[in-house]
Amino acid sequence: MADSGVIDGPGRKDEIERAKSEGKDLTKEEKQRLRKEKKQQKKIKEKKDDKASQENEKEKKPVTSAAPASQPPTQPTVQKAPSAVPATAPVSVPASEASVPADKPTKTKAELKAERRARQEAERASKQTKKGETGQQAATSKPKAPPSDLQPVVKRLPEHIQVDNPDVLKKLAKKLERQQIPLRSDYGYKVSLFSHLHQYSRKAPLTQQLSIPSTVIHPAIVRLGLQYSHGIVAGSNARSVALLHAFKQVIRDYTTPQNEELSRDLVNKLKPYISFLNQCRPLSASMGNAIKYIKKEISNIPSNCKEDEAKNKLLNCIESYINEKIILAGVAIAKCAIEKQKISDGDVILVYGCSSLVNHILCKAFEKSRKFRVIVVDSRPRLEGKEALRRLVQKGISCTYVLISAVSYILPEVSKVFLGAHALLANGYVMSRVGTSQIALVAKAFNVPVLVCCETYKFCDRVQTDSFVSNELDDPDDLIVTRKGTTPLEGWENESSLGLLNLVYDVTPPDFVDLVITELGMIPCTSVPVVLRVKNVDQ
């Protein structure tokens, strides 16, 4: 259909090929196109003097890439990405053409043809959008604007990773003031690479600035915030469960004011609480998902529903959420792992830190009389491994305990590595306690399979490839240790060039993870966006 007016001599072969391969995966095409465009842009920059021949080359390439680019729009795909990319092709064409007239006033025949073709494609694409989706329309409108879609679509960075930007801080302060929540001030010198993150001190809790019988914030939430900042409730699952418990108290004590609807007012009531909890300790991905779920449930309450009924409904929703997503998911994961022989007799399993889910799996496997032993790897300053060790030994599992510095020593003995996750990101990266990526790396080097256990409610839409951009900085004073009466780091604040860094999370690339065990089954790391998509469609 679209082939007729588009074909040029040298591009014909490619045209036929692409016509044949219509319907096959677009990603390859996209990748090729992207590569080509990058090359073009490089060449434009490098060889501005060498005009004629190179310009011809340049035009032929965007021509050939523009030609097949028109075909994908004809295929009824919903995704924005392929529609965005053909838009870039016509973009690069006018770009290169723009550079051409800039360099040389006279145009050759080929150049004129290219221009005509570009115009035809743009028109065709616009016709497609009249039939089809708004996404493509946005894509076609983009060629008119020079900035291409290859640039990140995210134009707003979240506040919590822009701490070194005074404007963002001012905005945050204003927002908190409006919600009547005190602002927690940062503490201590921050290492420059992480100066865009918050760093709080445990000795300056947020409750210092609150009135004691807290009236603005519900007492259950104040208690929860304190427990978060003191580390009494730590771990992704525990934090979510405690959060939902506190929300249950809030909902129980809530009364709808006059002339307000429960569905709208309750959500507004929850917003300052969430800001407060965020100030006490940055929210985890699982908590974020739980909050989204609750907000959705609240807004879906019909307006004719009586208050008591509505409250009961919400309480039941929360109960069922916890039951399904946390408790039953844990049971399902354990069952999956044990029945599919992921834990077999004679196994030596390495775990890191204290993950409630991994501990649960191991305890269940032990109950089902699998014979295995566990190596618990631990790291300072949290030393969470000691708690994991305690729970496993209490059940009767034979354990070994090492610090993370001994991981490469102990790995030859290990047959499998089980890791817990704080969140699974949309590009397949695993966000977990700092040190996990090291364990995964060393395990890969030793060819030991790495299995990550994670419930689906911890999957989040974020994309991260490094541990710097978005992380959490814990209290630097935790790193100070007193041994034999001396504290070497005692006056660290007075040393101008000394910074203490206490990172909490790191990201592990999907290449190091062999399998993710979720309640939906065992999936590879790269299937996380599929699960997210399925979940979004469900909701």
- Min separation Cβ 481 and another protein, Å: 15
- Long-range contacts from 148-157, C-beta under 8 angstroms, 24+ separation: 148/88, 148/91, 148/92, 149/84, 149/85, 149/87, 149/88, 149/91, 150/34, 150/37, 150/88
CA distances from 516 to 192, 409, 428, 466, 522 (A): 34, 26, 10, 20, 6
Quote helix, strand, coil % in the chain, to nearest 5: 55, 10, 35
Between 199 and 227, whose beta carbon lies closer to another protein?
A: 227
| Residue of the chain from 134, 369, 394, 497 that contacts another protein (CB under 8 A) | 394
Distance CA 69, CA 124 (A): 11
- For tokens 């044949």, name the residue: 20
The rounded Cα 61 to chain-centroid distance in angstroms is 36
Q: Does 102 bind another protein (CB under 8 A)?
A: no
Q: What angle is formed at CA 358 by the lines to CA 442 and CA 461, rounded to 5 degrees?
A: 80
- Min separation Cβ 266 and another protein, Å: 18
Region of 14-22, 218-226, 284-292, 492-500 interacting with another protein (CB under 8 A) = 218-226
Q: Does 303 bind another protein (CB under 8 A)?
A: no
Token code pair at residue 354:
């204290």
| Residue of the chain from 353, 476, 499, 510 that contacts another protein (CB under 8 A) | 353
Distance CA 434, CA 411 (A): 19
Q: What residues contact 482, with CB distance under 8 A and at least 6 apart?
A: none
Judge contact between 117 and 67, C-beta under 8 A: yes
Between 27 and 209, whose beta carbon lies closer to another protein?
A: 209
Between 73 and 420, whose beta carbon lies closer to another protein?
A: 420
Q: Does 322 bind another protein (CB under 8 A)?
A: yes
Which of 72, 71, 53 has the alpha carbon at shortest distance from 61? Answer: 53
Region of 168-176, 207-215, 396-404, 513-521 interacting with another protein (CB under 8 A) = 207-215
- For tokens 């427990």, name the residue: 227
Which of 466, 362, 357, 333 has the alpha carbon at shortest distance from 422? Answer: 357
Between 18 and 382, whose beta carbon lies closer to another protein?
A: 382
- Min separation Cβ 453 and another protein, Å: 14
Q: Does 219 bind another protein (CB under 8 A)?
A: yes
Between 136 and 237, whose beta carbon lies closer to another protein?
A: 237
Region of 86-94, 180-188, 242-250, 483-491 interacting with another protein (CB under 8 A) = 242-250
- Min separation Cβ 287 and another protein, Å: 12
- Min separation Cβ 359 and another protein, Å: 9
Token code pair at residue 28:
């390859």
Q: Does 387 bind another protein (CB under 8 A)?
A: yes
Report the sign of the C-alpha dihedral through residues 85, 90, 95, 100, in that order.
Answer: positive
| Residue of the chain from 63, 233, 520, 531 that contacts another protein (CB under 8 A) | 233
Q: Does 207 bind another protein (CB under 8 A)?
A: yes
Judge contact between 346 and 225, C-beta under 8 A: no
Q: What residues contact 57, with CB distance under 8 A and at least 6 apart?
A: 43
Q: What residues contact 108, with CB distance under 8 A and at least 6 apart?
A: 52, 55, 56
| Residue of the chain from 68, 235, 282, 476 that contacts another protein (CB under 8 A) | 235
Between 244 and 525, whose beta carbon lies closer to another protein?
A: 244
Region of 71-79, 238-246, 452-460, 525-533 interacting with another protein (CB under 8 A) = 238-246
Q: Does 327 bind another protein (CB under 8 A)?
A: yes
Between 222 and 531, whose beta carbon lies closer to another protein?
A: 222
* H-state helical runs in 383-513: 385-395, 407-410, 436-445
- Min separation Cβ 92 and another protein, Å: 52
| Residue of the chain from 393, 406, 469, 479 that contacts another protein (CB under 8 A) | 393
Between 117 and 422, whose beta carbon lies closer to another protein?
A: 422
In the three-class reduction of DSSP (H, G, I as helix; E, B as strand; rest coil), residue 500 is classed as coil
Between 64 and 236, whose beta carbon lies closer to another protein?
A: 236
Between 6 and 377, whose beta carbon lies closer to another protein?
A: 377
- Min separation Cβ 445 and another protein, Å: 28
Q: Does 354 bind another protein (CB under 8 A)?
A: yes
Judge contact between 459 and 423, C-beta under 8 A: yes
Q: Report the interface residues with another protein, using CB under 8 A.
A: 205, 207-208, 210-215, 219, 222-223, 226-227, 230-235, 237-239, 241-242, 244-245, 248-249, 252, 322, 327, 353-356, 384, 386-388, 390, 393-394
